[in-house]
Amino acid sequence: MHSEPSASNRTPGTSERVWQLALPSPRHTDRLGRAIGSALHGGESLALYGPLGSGKTALVRGIAAGLGATSGAVSSPTFVLLHEYRGRLPLAHVDLYRLNSRKEVDSIGLDDYFSGSTVVVIEWADKAPGILPPDRLEIQLRHRTVQSRSIRLMATGPLSAALLARTRTKRVSRRLPSGRRRSASARGLSSR
């Protein structure tokens, strides 16, 4: 007798590993960041890509808020290269914009952050080829209009796929205002 694998044992397909969204305003970018932050379990790596002003740091602010860190303190670490924030989990926020070589990237000790419970978020991750862990959530942000962005999240392994699935669940469960959620019986779906 052949049985269907449980949801936890199935290998996620491409559609489950990629999620594309339109973010019509900075508020929506923040909300997505908060959903990601609240879905983190620790040890995840997030690689952010996108041009200047595409919302990378705004997304990190939301992630920090979702972790319970002081999001108002989050700024682009362009000159310091790395900021650490404390919340429910430690967050290392890295910005590689000013770095020009693999040697410069190696000099900041990024590898030390890829173990343990620290969540690592890297802006300008394209400047760290070969250094990023193979299992990471890649986040590509692009301008649509002055206020809106498109975003593509792609999981590259099981840890990031689980994070993406939890984020989708948190984001979907927040769509309806709390007063509009109805129980199964209120929708006429009672078990009678």
Per residue in 94-142, pLDDT (tens digit) is 888 877 777 777 777 777 888 788 999 999 999 887 889 999 999 999 9
Return the higher-pLDDT residue of 81 and 18. Answer: 18
CA 41, CA 44: separation in Å to the nearest integer? Answer: 7
Q: Predicted confidence band at 53 (pLDDT cuts at 50, 70, 90)?
A: confident
142 and 163 Cβ atoms separated by less than 8 Å: no
Domains, the chain, ordered by start: 14-173 (3.40.50.300)
Statement: residue 67 has pLDDT above 80: yes
Residue 1 banded pLDDT, cuts 50, 70, 90 = very low
Q: How far apart are CA 92 and CA 45, in angstroms?
A: 10
Compute CA 147 distance to the chain's CA centroid, rounded to the nearest angstrom.
20
Which of 62, 104, 63 lies closest to 81, judged by CA?
Answer: 104
DSSP 67: T
Residue tagged 């419970």 (tokens): 117
Would you state the pLDDT for residue 136? 96
Give CA–CA dist 167/70, Å, rounded: 20
Contact between 50 and 141 (Cβ < 8 Å): yes
**Average pLDDT score over residue span 7-35:** 79
Provide the pLDDT for residue 46: 97
Q: What is the pLDDT of residue 145?
A: 86
Number of Cβ within a 10 Å radius of residue 58: 22
Range with the poorest average pLDDT among 38-42, 61-65, 98-102, 185-189: 185-189
Count the alpha carbons within 13 Å of 29 in the hemisphere toward its beta carbon.
23
Q: Which helix (H) or strand (E) holds 11?
A: none
- Burial class of residue 153 in the structure, from the number of CB atoms within 10 Å of its CB (0-12 exposed, 13-18 middle, 19+ buried): buried
Higher-scoring residue by pLDDT: 38, 70: 38
